[in-house]
Amino acid sequence: MERRLTYALPIREVVSAAIAGSTDRFPVNRIFCVGRNYADHIREMGFDPEREPPFFFMKPTDALVSGQNVSVAYPPDTENFQYEAELVVAIGSSGRDVPVERALDHVWGYGVGVDLTRRDRQIEARDRGRPWELGKSFDQSAPIGPLKPASECGHPARGPIWLDVNGVRKQEGDLGQLIWSVPEVVSVLSRSWALNAGDLIFTGTPAGVGPIVRGDRLTLAAADLPQLSVTIV
């Protein structure tokens, strides 16, 4: 008789993201983020926007908050909590060493998200040559709106990306300004990690990042994807 596998602790529920117009959910595997992928944002952070190879950091699935209207708790251990609006890519099939011309074959869909950042902790780590996790990878640091399948929205290479704080426009750019395009990002990422269905990729933020406090309401969108509203509580 085959022995049934048991676990020492209760099994956690699958982490998942909302899908626009559907009761189905998108199971989330890993969350990758691209650093410095808009020239104007690189400048505002004090760096020269040369087209260097893209670099990546990760957030745990605990960071995910998904829906049309979500609430996020102001995190501990920061006095400079900031927003970064980003296009999010949802991977639908596995692959390694994916060529650029085949990269979009692995994309299931898209959404808009916020790379919430403890900026003081990030800068402190950066200046000391340490990893960015303390500034980037904390609980609830990756809110995303409902994902839209590429079969419905195509593969947006251009279109506005913007973020408002309490109704005031703070970030405004175009997806066409990405230094590394979505196919390039997917291809480069697949050289270091085997892509898996359920992976999410935050693709970078335009200029205009800034601080937020409890009670602030963020509204953001990219191209024709569903908007996302985030209230800081």
Break the chain into its structural domains and give their ranges.
Answer: 16-232
The CATH-assigned architecture of domain 16-232 is Alpha-Beta Complex (3.90)
**What digits encode the pLDDT tens for the residues 152-191?**
999 999 999 999 999 999 999 999 999 999 999 999 999 9
Q: What does DSSP say about strands 228-232 and 69-72: parallel, antiparallel, or unpaired? A: parallel
The span from the CA of 232 to the CA of 110, in Å, is 24
pLDDT for 45 beyond 70: no
**What digits encode the pLDDT tens for the residues 208-224?**
999 999 999 999 999 99
The model carries a pTM of 0.94
pLDDT for 37 beyond 90: no
The span from the CA of 36 to the CA of 153, in Å, is 26
DSSP 22-54: -S-EEE---EEEEES-BHHHHHHTT-----PPP
Q: How confident is the model at residue 127, as a pLDDT?
A: 92
Lowest mean pLDDT among 2-6, 93-97, 137-141, 159-163: 2-6
